[in-house]
């Protein structure tokens, strides 16, 4: 029986990429600006989870972006904002309008800004997003991803 199931497992298993590396953050249930305002809201939901709502601002317009709280998910909804791919926007807290703090520079040259997973400012415990609309890194990144990313620097 054990032999059979092991055989079945191996045959049916698709080798995508190694993924198991301990506990990794996959869902952001709460996240905060540097002033401790909670950014999650039900303005838009993703798979039933409340999205992360941030203000986007540039010289032409100001609107809201609601991001999927699932790490790596590119789901998002814009509200009153016409995002153009490649454009860099200021990302702010909808409550206090303070720009989110810069965590690092993205490979695209724009800044990666941070949200915090607790009301305390702690860059050891944050998630990030690129300010450039349409950037590969414009979905939320776990802290672990951010660390890997900054160590690796540029890559193609």
- Binding-site ranges for Zn ion (CB under 5 A): 33, 35, 37, 93, 95-96, 106, 108, 110, 130, 132, 135, 137
Please report, in angstroms and rounded to a whole number, the separation of the first and last CA atoms in the chain.
46
Question: Cβ of residue 101: shortest distance to Zn ion, in angstroms?
Answer: 11
Measured CA to CA, the distance from residue 97 to residue 86 in angstroms comes to: 23
Comparing CB distances to Zn ion, the nearer of 39 and 44 is 39
Output the DSSP codes for 105-150: E-TTSSEEEEEESSSS--TTSEEEEESBTT-TT-S-B-HHHHHHHH
Q: CB 45 → Zn ion: shortest distance, Å?
A: 21
Complex with Zn ion: residue 33 or 113, whichever CB lies closer:
33
Shortest separation between residue 92's beta carbon and Zn ion, angstroms? 8
* 34 vs 44, beta carbon nearer Zn ion: 34
CA gap 129, 131 in Å, rounded: 7
Q: Which is nearer to Zn ion, 8 or 109 (CB)?
A: 109
């Amino acid at each position: 029986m054990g032999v059979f199931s092991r055989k079945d497992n191996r045959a049916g298993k698709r080798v995508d990429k190694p993924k198991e590396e301990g506990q990794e953050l996959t869902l952001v249930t709460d996240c905060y600006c540097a002033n401790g305002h909670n950014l999650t809201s039900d303005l838009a939901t993703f798979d039933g989870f409340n999205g992360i709502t941030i203000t986007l601002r540039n010289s032409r317009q100001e609107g809201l972006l609601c991001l999927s709280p699932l790490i790596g998910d590119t789901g998002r909804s814009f509200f009153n904002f016409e995002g153009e791919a490649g454009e860099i926007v200021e990302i702010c807290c909808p409550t206090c309008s303070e720009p989110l703090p810069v965590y690092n520079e993205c490979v695209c040259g724009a800044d990666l800004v941070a949200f915090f997973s607790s009301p305390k400012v702690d860059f050891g415990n944050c998630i990030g997003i690129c300010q450039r609309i349409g950037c590969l890194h414009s979905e939320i990144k776990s802290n672990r991803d951010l660390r890997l990313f900054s160590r690796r620097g540029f890559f193609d």
